[in-house]
Structure 1
Amino acid sequence: VPMLRLRARLAVASDRLGISHFLLAASRRLPSAWQRLTIVTWHRVAKNVAPGFDPGTVSATPEQFDRQIAMLKASFSIIDIAALARYRDEGRALPPCPALLTFDDGYRDNLTVAVPILKKHRAHAVFFVSTGFMEERKLFPWEWISAIVTSSRRSRIDVSYPEPMSLGLGDDVSRRMAVRRLIHRTRTWVGLDWTRFAKELAETCESPWDRDKEAKAADELILDWAGVRALVEEGMDVQSHGHSHALFPYISADDIHQELSTSRQLLERHLGRPPSAVAYPAGAYPIPGTPRYHAVERAGYRFGFRLDQRTRMLGGITDWLSLPRLCSDPGLGDDQFRSMLAFPNILR
């Protein structure tokens, strides 16, 4: 926490002193090989989250997002996956200060809130969607965990599956901590029976939850295939975020291949063309050179995106299946966001 506070203060100071503005302006004059590829990601753009659902998925308010896109347009050249492919395969030059704007998961407000702001600024973005949730009309696990726990009237719960946990729910802070602990523990649990976990968690919390309730909530929160097609119709790009949002370091190479092949087939069926890029769920990417890594290649993907608050110099990119991205956060002021863009590898 002290280090985070120090970085925040440094970001604010550098912006007020004009250092961020200077660096962003100077970067446009660098030789092409020294130019950095800046990739920024968001999840949700929303002012208010529906009661019970996970506020941690919001990356910016609409007002913040509007200012962030204006900043990006002023200092960067917004590109798309096709331009990146031409640079990689044919050596075609990218414009000065290339930036790729991306969204993960496939929330409905990507279409209803983010896209109008992007179009206002004549900006393009890539939307990485988890196809299983479009196909089956279900919620992401972190959403239904949050909904079940926060609606409980109990002051404490004892969870037995997948492992014993005693969680206090006495106040809002305790409930948020309980939700975060359950999400953190279950997302990396190999072979977790999600149906059993949801049923037992709802029973323990004494919170009514069933498939119909989940499907109704999914319709409100998550894009369906009509919404995904609407993204394309609005001039945006849609790529893969896996099928079930499984974290690749925790599943086998065969399971990764199945995840990505299924997602690829569904996207091709609904959009008329297969994806060439994947954003790894939660940014958790397979280690280069391992069978898991090669499974991504075998499934037909040419670009892979992770999350680790870095950028890369174009001339130094050798691994196109492990491209780093910067992640927006609603706690970032405009000065911090600008400083993140100006020197991300320092103020991480």
Structure 2
Amino acid sequence: MNDLVKYIGFSSLGKLGLYRSLRRKHRGKAVALTYHGVLPEKPPGNGDFQYRNFVTAGQFEQQIQFLLRRYRPLRAEDFYEPGGNLAGGFLITFDDGFRNNYLHALPILKKYGLQGCFFITTHLIDTREFLWTEQVTRLLEKTRREKVEVELERPHSFPLGAPAQREHASLAIRKYLKVAPLRRRQEVLGHMKAQLSDVPLTVQPEEEERYLFMTWDEVREMARAGQVIGSHTHTHPMLATLSEEESLGELRVSRKLIEQQTGQPCLTMSYPNGERENYSEVQIRQLQQLGYRCAFTQVPHFNTAETDRYQLRRVNISLKMSLPVFEAALCGVL
């Protein structure tokens, strides 16, 4: 379904009163929104794939204004403190820790007096490195080679002649690596880097708006401004693919770094990727053991007082969401 058809279709549902009816139906519940990045302006037309989970500052502010007209702002502690009232509320969350969160999201949150939760990948703070998932995409997008050989479940030769072929290769390889054991992921990435060695794997000056992570100074400023800094693990692995010792280390190290750097307790986290297969009861037990009070998934949609505090649900927000589509997503239509 193209963007115009979506806009017309979801606008029509709103005019028919569907969303108002659904908000009444779910008025005792809360919705948490997942953002990843905020850009000053719309990216170039050929950038849809790499910017798909980002929004513009204009979109973000429009969405905040919409939320404040329809819902009640919540704070992180409302999700884990006894007696927290979630009814009719919303919470803004960000995953990963990109610098554009500090540059473009923070001023808007401060303007409207809102608290967001920023879940950061601590290994990447104060570096010019890429997330491992984006290393895959970057290698395939930037290389001058016409193909790449990768062994997934079986050997694959991915053609890279056209942008659509590069996107297909990225999706297929990342899908495999997200459920592969850590060592296997490292092997495949190492093999790709060796083949596609013409691609630099540090953030270049012209890429900073999209890919650069915050500095610890910026993280501390966010915390001083009343924003919550939570863990998104240390290196962004799919936790269910790790040994218990590795998983515990990811959760412990990230929490310790955040607390050391901000001087504030780290009580919240979000699971990388966040689908149900990406974490297990092992991680829930470890989070409780380490003193985390709640954790967010990427499983939609609503949260209530009965929702498992270590499996809180969120709605992912993306670049191509017009306001009618955004409203539909919040109401559970998507």
| TM-score, normalising length: structure 2 | 0.86
Q: 1:339 aligns with which of 303, 328, 331?
A: 328
Cα displacement (A) at 1:195: 5.9
Cα displacement (A) at 1:142: 2.0
In the alignment, is the contact (CA less than 8 A) between 1:41 and 1:104 conserved in 2?
Answer: yes
Cα displacement (A) at 1:205: 2.8
* Structure 2: distance between partners of 1:197 and 1:245: 16
Q: 1:102 aligns with which of 80, 83, 93?
A: 93
Give the secondary-structure state (helix, strand or coil) at the position aligned to 2:80.
helix
Instruction: Give the counterpart letter for 1:40 in structure 2.
Output: L
Give per-residue Cα distances to partners, 1:91-118, cap 9 Å, x unaligned: 25x3751211100011111111111222
Q: Supply the RMSD in Å over aligned alpha carbons.
A: 3.3
Aligned partner of 1:67 in structure 2 is 62
* Structure 2: distance between partners of 1:296 and 1:78: 26
Give the secondary-structure state (helix, strand or coil) at the position aligned to 2:235.
coil
* Structure 2: distance between partners of 1:308 and 1:121: 27
* Structure 1: distance between partners of 2:221 and 2:153: 39
- 1:287–1:131 Cα change, 3 Å: closer
* Structure 1: distance between partners of 2:48 and 2:21: 40
* Structure 2: distance between partners of 1:107 and 1:200: 27
Aligned partner of 2:314 in structure 1 is 325
Query: What residue ranges of structure 2 are gaps of 5+ in the alignment?
Result: none
Query: What residue ranges of structure 1 are gaps of 5+ in the alignment?
Result: none
Give per-residue Cα distances to partners, 1:286-325, cap 9 Å, x unaligned: 79983343122112212011012210333x33x2111111
* Structure 2: distance between partners of 1:240 and 1:96: 26
Cα displacement (A) at 1:165: 2.0
The 5-angstrom pairing of residues 45-60 of structure 1 reads 45-46=38-39, 47-48=42-43, 55-56=50-51, 58-60=53-55
Identity of aligned residues (%): 22
* Structure 2: distance between partners of 1:268 and 1:201: 36
The 5-angstrom pairing of residues 1-348 of structure 1 reads 11-21=10-20, 23-24=22-23, 26=24, 35-46=28-39, 47-48=42-43, 55-56=50-51, 58-86=53-81, 88=82, 91=83, 94=85, 96-134=87-125, 137-160=128-151, 164-192=155-183, 197-209=188-200, 213=202, 221-285=212-276, 290-314=281-305, 316-317=306-307, 319-341=308-330, 343-344=331-332, 347-348=333-334
- 1:23–1:200 Cα change, 3 Å: closer
| TM-score, normalising length: structure 1 | 0.83
Give the secondary-structure state (helix, strand or coil) at the position aligned to 2:250.
helix
Cα displacement (A) at 1:203: 3.3
In the alignment, is the contact (CA less than 8 A) between 1:168 and 1:174 conserved in 2?
Answer: yes
How many residues are matched?
330
* Structure 2: distance between partners of 1:129 and 1:208: 26
Give the secondary-structure state (helix, strand or coil) at the position aligned to 2:62.
helix
Instruction: Give the counterpart letter for 2:68 in structure 1.
Output: K
